[in-house]
Chains A and B, each alone.
Chain A
Amino acid sequence: MAVSNPAEYSPKRNTSFVDWLNRHIKLIFILPSLIFVLAMMVFPIGYTVWLSFNEWNGSARQSPQGVGLSNYTNLLTADPRFWDSVLRTFLFSFGAVVAELLLGLGIALLLQGKFFGQNFIKTLILLPMVATPVAIGMAWLLMFEPTIGLLNALLRDIGIAPQPWLGSEQQALWSLVMVDVWQWTPMMALILLAGLTVLPEEPYEAARVDGASPRQRFFYLTLPLLMPTIVVATLLRSIDALKTFDIIYTMTRGGPGYATETINTYGYVQSFEYFKLGQASSLLVIFFAMVLGISLLFIQVRRRWGVQA
């Protein structure tokens, strides 16, 4: 490329500087993103880790006090709210992602063929994904309202007893899963649809020649061929679902009681309601490690399936 030797253009001026630039051109090109990553990611994570070994409430008069590992031992051994919230985080994410995967796969298969108004339907299905989670939370909060909400009005019309939804410890978490599924199934469907459209035609032709039933074609061709896409979609969605905060905060703030408190909302409570910045940091560090572990696991899984594809 022409840029490879800028020194040629001004051989007399600033030769040493240009030479230096020339020699470090790779470094200079990546420098902006390097600075960005350092400032916006590495530093906050490092600071969080450091803070997790301290206790501090943000005081201007008292700087953070080192407390060693006690934030971690507190959480892991003495705080039932922590373990409950971990369990709920995984229940929520698992429930949501499985439902989204199944529904998303169904929708993708339906949308795969050609039909009238296909693009219109596709756009329509994608709408929930475009909306802001907090706005969605507000809208669903109204629909879930047991006395004056839409859902119970519908239930009453078809003769089913009204449900307390978010007002019940048993139903609240699953009501939230419902909202998450409503919002994020479209993304699952979109990724899977993209995966379906690039599948090779030849195996299907061969299968048809051999007289394979649609069922067989689905289980022995589509599913295995689509597996890499499914794994990627599940990975992306799982990490996202684990981090869910907005809809929970908007709709239940972790209640009733503690029935929908996840690691994220608990971290928020620890930092912004209890002012225990060190404790909150240690919680986030543990959560970070968990998400990292899950991601690594998925990458392993993907490698395996990737070979097959």
Chain B
Amino acid sequence: MNRKSNTLGLATLMLLLCGLVAACGDTGASTTNTAPTGGAVSGTTTTAAATNAGAATTAAGTTTGTTAAAGAATTAAAAGAATTAAAAGQTGNVVAGVSKNFSGKQLRIITANHPWNEGIKKVLPQFEQASGMKITVENYFEDQLSQKLQIGLTSGSSGADVFMFRPLQEGKLFANNGWLNDLSAKAQGASEWNWSDFQDAARSTVTFDNKVYGIPIVTEREIVYYRKDLFEQAGLKAPTTLEELTEAAKKLTDPAKGQYGLVMRGQRSPAVTQFSSFLYSSGGTWTTSDGKSALGTPEALSAYKLYGDLLKNYGPQGTLNMSWPQAVAIFQQGKAAMWIDADSLYTNVLDPAKSIIADKVGYAQFPAGKAGSKPYNITSWALGMNAASGNQDAAWEFIRWATSAPVVMQLQQSGLPGARSTVWNSPDGLKGFPEEYAKVAQSSAKAGVGFDRPPVVNVGEARDIVGNPIVISIQGGDVAGAVKEADQKFNAFLDKDKNAKS
């Protein structure tokens, strides 16, 4: 009898647990959002917030979602705090030139969970008032965004009118598949809005086969973040060549003190973009002018070796499982003297809530190799229009406004690097950035290469192929063999990728 009642109790307990699980369902969903960004390729500040919040407290599993959200809010607040106060008062009319022609229309916008989305939301009510349109914004963590778009667009659903996409990652594919509207006529026709004000590199990134498929909203360059205090102590200056970089990394590595020379991404696919500046500056590139693999060159080999050696000899343990959120966490905790990654992520190191070295960070342009200093300078995000949208003119009205000079100015003043030359050239446009950072970002933009990954249709597969030697190199394996294999595979891939275009 005793056992029977025990069973009953147990059954009740299980029921309760089921209820609990069901109740957690919502939390589960929002937590799921957090996940993929952990290994994400570039982009949001939010995961780092989660990483940090967790690092400090080792947050209990289910609460992580909330922590991330809270963290995101803090980030945005902290990033903007210094600058928005100034910006809000004087940016003038962000809705100048918005027409009432589409009053009453409803638009659905899908965005990534990225500071751009936080920024645009602040001015969106003004747009809604000026235009009479109703805008619904949905946001997703970037990998989920990609899936969401693919599934929505594959099924031909016209759910979203406008969406954020990564031109270098999925632009060609989306355009080839007929998912993106050709915006050439609209962009070139809007003279006051001024398409030619967008930086050349940015415009080329969203232009495929001479057609404009998106409007650039966020740009980024690879730079060196370094610890001024450590460099000073060691009597070093910010590295200007790759040799100096190696020297500095060597000098500042002291595993006994838990200090490492530098930290960078080591996960196969995420590392590819940050490896690209090493490749260009060493004199290499991805593809030759006739569309063959260019990985077989000695320049490419030396770049692969350098990247791996730096991380293997002077990096912390576990870089093989690092994308940027993991890497920046090491830098924020003061365990690395340098962090090399995209400049658009700089708010992560400046936020005192997350970073114990916030006041000790210096910025340097990507060091020069044999071919000089050639960081990437890319458009990481653009706004695209769904080809199946039934509200194309209204959607363009929104895109035109969201990328207009006053809006870009306001967003850039809140610390978000945009793509408009006039904004970059105006002192007002640089107000939001630390002074040294603004200089580095400007000079990097001039030297920069317009792509940070192979310019192909199926980027995901290409990244895995060209990223493999990075992993082998960090592990200290046979780099030459791995590069040779990657070269062959990449050639075979390029043959197929070309066929995919037709």
Contact = CB atoms under 8 A, between A and B. Distances in A.
Contacts of B10: 190, 193-194, 197
A134 B153 contact: no
A300 interface: no
A209 interface: no
Contacts of B63: 135
A128 B20 CA distance: 12
A257 B321 contact: no
Given A130-B17, A136-B61, A147-B330, A166 B461 contact: no
A257 B269 CA distance: 9
Interface residues of A, number: 60
A189 to B, nearest CB: 11
B494 to A, nearest CB: 15
A212 to B, nearest CB: 20
A120 to B, nearest CB: 11
Interface in B417-461: 458, 460-461
Nearest to A247: B35
Interface in B1-25: 3, 6-7, 9-10, 13-14, 17, 20-21, 24
B24 A255 contact: no
B150 A272 contact: yes
B114 to A, nearest CB: 19
Majority-rule SS of B interface residues: helix
Interface stretch (A57-65, A85-93, A223-231): A57-65
Contacts of A269: 460, 464
A274 B461 contact: yes
A272 B146 contact: yes
A193 B3 CA distance: 11
Contact of A59 (B6, B35, B178): B178
A255 B38 CA distance: 13
B194 to A, nearest CB: 32
A95 interface: no
A197 B2 CA distance: 9
B156 interface: yes
Contact of B333 (A135, A148, A272): A148
A168 B320 contact: yes
Given A129-B17, A142-B55, A253-B267, A58 B35 contact: no
A192 to B, nearest CB: 11
A249 B61 contact: no
B281 interface: no
Most buried by A among B173, B177, B179, B468: B177
Contact residues on B (Cβ < 8 Å of other chain), bracket: 35 or more
Contacts of B500: 57
A119 B5 CA distance: 13
Contacts of A94: none
A110 interface: no
A194 B326 contact: no
A148 B36 CA distance: 21
Interface of A: 57-62, 119, 122-123, 126, 128-132, 134-139, 141-150, 162, 164-169, 172, 190, 193-194, 197-199, 201, 246, 249-253, 255-257, 269, 272-275
17 contacts: A58-B150, A59-B176, A59-B177, A60-B388, A126-B13, A130-B20, A131-B61, A135-B64, A138-B31, A146-B317, A148-B329, A148-B333, A167-B317, A193-B10, A257-B268, A257-B468, A275-B173
Given A130-B62, A142-B58, 7 more contacts: A126-B13, A138-B54, A145-B326, A167-B319, A269-B460, A275-B173, A275-B460
Interface of B: 3, 6-7, 9-10, 13-14, 17, 20-21, 24, 27-28, 31-32, 34-36, 38-39, 50-51, 54-55, 58-65, 146-147, 150, 153-154, 156, 173, 176-179, 258, 260, 266-269, 316-322, 326, 329-330, 333, 335, 387-388, 458, 460-461, 464, 468, 471-472, 475, 500
